[in-house]
Amino acid sequence: MAELWEVLSEHLPEFSSGLWVTIRLVAFSFVIAMVVGTLVAALRVAPLGPLNWIGGVFVETFRNTPLLVLLFVSFAGLRRAGVPIDPWVAGTASLGLYTAAYVAEALRSGVFAVGRGQIEASLSLGLDYPRTLRYVVLPQAFRTVIPHLGSLTIAMIKNSAIIGVSLLALPDLLHQARLVNSRTFATNESFFWAAAGYLLLTGLATLAVRRLEARYAIRR
Amino acid sequence: MGYLFDPSNWEWLTSGNNLRFLLEGFLVNVEIAAIAIVFSLACGLVLALARLSKLRPLGVAAGVWVDVWRNLPLIFIILYLALALPEPWKDAYESVVPSFFPEALQSGRVFAGILGLVLYNSAVIAEIMRAGILSLDRGQGEAAASLGLSYPQQLRYVILPQGLRRMVPATVSQLITLNKDTTLVSIIAIEEVMRHGRTLSSGFTAFVGGVPAPLLQVFVFIGLLFVITNLALSRLSRRLEIRERERTAGTAGPVSGLEDQVALATEAR
C-alpha cells in the first residue's frame, strides 16, 4: 500500500504529462470525428445516389478496419512512402476518422428519427436541402443521439490508448505507465494509476453526457 | 494515389508465398476471435444475470466489476495481463490448450490476450444483454411467475428468449469490434496478421531477392481483409434482424448497431 503512493508521488510528472497527452489526443480527435461525421452523415442522407454511395463507402471502410491498421497505414505507411506526416496528425486523424464513421451512423439514425414530414414541410417552405439539414434536421438529430455520441466519446478515450502504443512519439498515459513500470518494476502500481486516470476520464465523460442528456436530449 | 495503385507496388502479393503468409496470420486472428467470442458470450450472460440478481450484494458486485472492465482501454488490459499474469496460469493454459491448435496459440502469452479480450467484451456484452432483458415489459416475468414457473424457468422460457433476441444486432456489432480488436494482441508479440505484415514489409523479402513489399500496401491489404470479414458478419446480422422483425411482427425497434448500444437502451427505458 505504501508503495502505491510512493510510485505516484515519485512519478507524478510522468503520469500527469501522459494524462495531458491523452486529453489532447481525445480533444483533437473529437473535433475531427464530429465535423467529418456530420459531413458524412449529410452525404448519407442526401437525395443523390452517388453521394449516398460515397458516404457508405467511407463508413464501411473506417468502421470495419482495426484502428491499429489505420495507424500503421497513416503513419509508418505514409512515412515509408515518402510523406513526412506528423505523428499528431496521423494519430488524431486515424482515431478521428475511425470514430467519424460511427458518428455518421449515429447521426443518420437520428436524422431518420426526425421524420419525413418535417423535411417535406421545410422543403415546401422554400428552404433548400442544405438549409433544411442545417436548421431543421441536424439540430434535432444531434439531440436525439446525445447518449449515442456520449458512448462514442467514451470509446474514443479508451481507443486513444492504442495510439500511444503504436506511435511512440506520442507518450500518452498508457505509454508513461509502461515507462514507469520498466524503470521501477512496480507493475501493479504503475498500471493501477494509469487505470485510475482512464477511469477518471471515462467517469467524467459519463457524468457530462448524463448532464447534457438531462438538459437537451429528446426522448423518442 | 499514384503510389498506392502502382502495380509494381502490389507485385509482392502474387510473388512467393507472401499472400499465404498473411492469410495464415489472419487465420490466427480469426481463431482468437472465435475463442474469445464463445467465452465472452457465456461470461456476459452470467454477469448480466448476476447484475439483475435479486441478491443485492451480488448485483452490486457484478455492477462494479462490469463498470470497471468496460471503462478501461482493452489494450491497457491486455498489456497489464501480459506483464502481471502469474506464470503458473500461463503454464496451466499451455497444458490444457489442444495440440491441434496452431503454433501461435500454443504459447502462454496468448492466454493474456484472450483473457483480456474476454474480460473486456464480456463486460460490454453483459450490459447489452442486461439492457435487452430490462427492455422487456415487467408483466412478462410476473405473468410467468403467476403461471407457477420458478425463477430459472422464467428466465429460460420467457425472459431470455425475448430479451436476448432483441439485442442480437447490438451484440453482433460488439463482436465485430472484438474481431477488429484481435489485432491488439500483436502488441504482446503474438504472431498474427499485424506481425506477419510487419515481417513482410521489413525489407526482408527484397533482401533475399524477392519483390519488395511496401508497408503501406501490405497494411491496406490487411485492412481490406478485416473490412471483408466484418461486412460479411454485419450482413448476416442484418438478415437475422429482418427475419426476427418479420417473426415478431415489428415489436423490436430498429437498432443501428454501435458499441455501447446500452446507453441508449437503458436511458430510454
Nearest to A65 among B181, B226, B262 (CB): B226
Confidence (pLDDT) at A36: 95
Higher pLDDT, B57 or B238: B57
Q: Is B79 on the interface with A (CB under 8 A)?
A: yes
Average pLDDT over residues B35-41: 93
What is the domain count for chain B? 1
Whether residue B84 and residue A188 make contact (CB cut-off 8 A), yes or no, is yes
How do residues B48-98 score in pLDDT, each as one tens digit? 999 988 888 899 999 999 999 999 999 999 999 998 888 888 888 888 887
Whether residue A73 and residue B219 make contact (CB cut-off 8 A), yes or no, is yes
Whether residue A161 and residue B76 make contact (CB cut-off 8 A), yes or no, is yes
Contacts of A74-82 with C-beta under 8 Å, sequence gap 24+, read A75/A166, A75/A167, A76/B215, A76/B219, A77/B214, A77/B215, A77/B216, A77/B219, A77/B220, A78/B216, A80/B201, A80/B214, A80/B215, A80/B216, A81/B3, A81/B214, A81/B215, A81/B216, A82/B3
How do residues B89-134 score in pLDDT, each as one tens digit? 888 888 888 777 777 788 888 889 999 999 999 999 999 998 888 8
Interface test with B, best of A57, A72, A94, A210 (most B CBs within 10 A): A72
Domain residues for the domain of B23 are 2-267
* In the predicted structure, residue A187 carries a pLDDT above the cut 80: yes
Q: What is the number of CB-based contacts under 8 A between chain A and chain B?
A: 139
Amino acid at A59: V
Set of chain B residues whose Cβ sits within 8 Å of the Cβ of A203: 71
Whether residue A81 and residue B214 make contact (CB cut-off 8 A), yes or no, is yes
The C-alpha angle with vertex B111 and arms to B108 and B115, in degrees rounded to 5, equals: 160
- Whichever domain contains B33, its CATH number is 1.10.3720.10
Single out the residue of B83, B92, B88 nearest to residue B112, CA to CA. B83
Whether residue B73 and residue A81 make contact (CB cut-off 8 A), yes or no, is no
Confidence (pLDDT) at B267: 43
Residue whose grid cell is 423490436: B252
Q: What is the ipTM metric for this complex?
A: 0.87
How do residues A25-80 score in pLDDT, each as one tens digit? 999 999 999 999 999 998 888 777 888 899 999 999 999 999 999 999 999 888 88
CA torsion, points B250, B252, B256, B257, in degrees to nearest 10? -140
Q: Which residue of B has its CA nearest to A156?
A: B73
Nearest to A81 among B72, B194, B216 (CB): B216
- Whichever domain contains A67, its CATH number is 1.10.3720.10
Flag the least confident range among A5-14, A55-64, B147-156, B253-262.
Answer: B253-262
Amino acid at A207: L
Q: How far is B16 from chain A (nearest CA, A)?
A: 22
Domain residues for the domain of A76 are 2-216
CA–CA gap between residue B226 and residue B222 (Å, rounded): 7
How do residues A76-132 score in pLDDT, each as one tens digit? 888 888 888 899 999 999 999 999 999 999 888 888 888 778 888 888 888 888 888
What is the domain count for chain A? 1
**Reported confidence tier of residue B44, pLDDT bands at 50, 70, 90:** very high
